[in-house]
Amino acid sequence: MEQLSASRSHGGVQGVYRHESTATGTPMTFSVFVPAHAPGAKLPVVWFLSGLTCTHANVTEKGEYRAACAEHGLILVASDTSPRGPGVPGDPAGATDFGLGAGFYVDATQAPFSKHYQMWRYVTQELPALIPANFPADMGRQSIMGHSMGGHGALTVGLRHPERFRAVSAFAPIVAPSLVPWGQKALRGYLGPDEAAWRPHDAVALIADGARLPELLVDQGEADPFLQNQLRPELLEAACAKAGIALTARRHAGYDHGYYFVSSFMAGHLAWHAARLR
């Protein structure tokens, strides 16, 4: 692991790191904030998964999470959203909703994407093994959150690994990718035309198939231009109501899809996670 930068912030250290990934076959960059802590102490870990077109840098530079992490004693890890580098294919037409920056947190099975787009394995296996080997992380206390495509990732990772994560939350998540254009394009391109293969990567489908969490927290801006045709939060609300999952779904007038929205409610999410990680 190579340290690319380290900056003092709120008494802790914000670092950016790069390593050679065996999952993606490419270099991968991620960020970690470690708050001030007593020597030898192990701290709970919050994972943040970012959205379409993003890297680790979006939340690192615009998420405004460090003060809350310092207050609650939380490590925050932000991964990239897809593999990158020479030879990594993107969208054939150059669109930004598939390929580079749009890995959708799945392990692709379709050529040419299957060689590098192994993001499920990367965020659920490889990076979680790297973190405790290099940082004072208590892997018995983990939670996960994400934004947009990363909200989709956080929900599906959390639903499929309920034993690992004590809390799961999301900002403006894609809750049912099988039913919306962004998700249909990505799941078909990465996993093929058989929609049965999509269900493990669709939060609403996972809940319908029996996946359970005790509770979820979701924030959504009502001025989000993607609300009606891509995000469909009402589908998650209905699925959770039917399954008996305690969903706190908050709508916010005037807020759009960007990081001004995310940063406005980040501290509240982290306080909610901290209460469940104690």
- Mark whether 80 is an active-site residue: no
Q: Give the DSSP H or E segment for 245.
A: none
Tokens representing 253 are: 């007038």
Question: Which of 31, 79, 143, 148 is the catalytic position?
Answer: 148
Question: Which of 80, 107, 202, 224 is the catalytic position?
Answer: 224
- Mark whether 257 is an active-site residue: yes
Q: What angle do CA 273, 277, 278 make, to 5 degrees?
A: 125
Tokens representing 51 are: 């959205």
Q: What angle do CA 73, 171, 245 make, to 5 degrees?
A: 90
Residue 74 backbone class (left: φ over 0; alpha: ψ -120 to 50; beta: rest): beta
- Mark whether 201 is an active-site residue: no
Which ranges of the chain would DSSP assign to H, the alpha helix? 56-62, 66-72, 119-121, 127-134, 149-160, 181-191, 203-208, 233-243, 259-277
- Size of the chain, expressed as the number of residues it contains: 278
Sequence-separated (6 or more) residues with CB below 8 Å from residue 226: 148, 172, 257
Residue 162 backbone class (left: φ over 0; alpha: ψ -120 to 50; beta: rest): alpha
Question: Which of 72, 201, 257, 269 is the catalytic position?
Answer: 257
Q: Which residues are registered as beta bridge partners of 49?
A: 146
CA distance 189 to 191: 6
Catalytic residue numbers, as ranges: 148, 224, 257
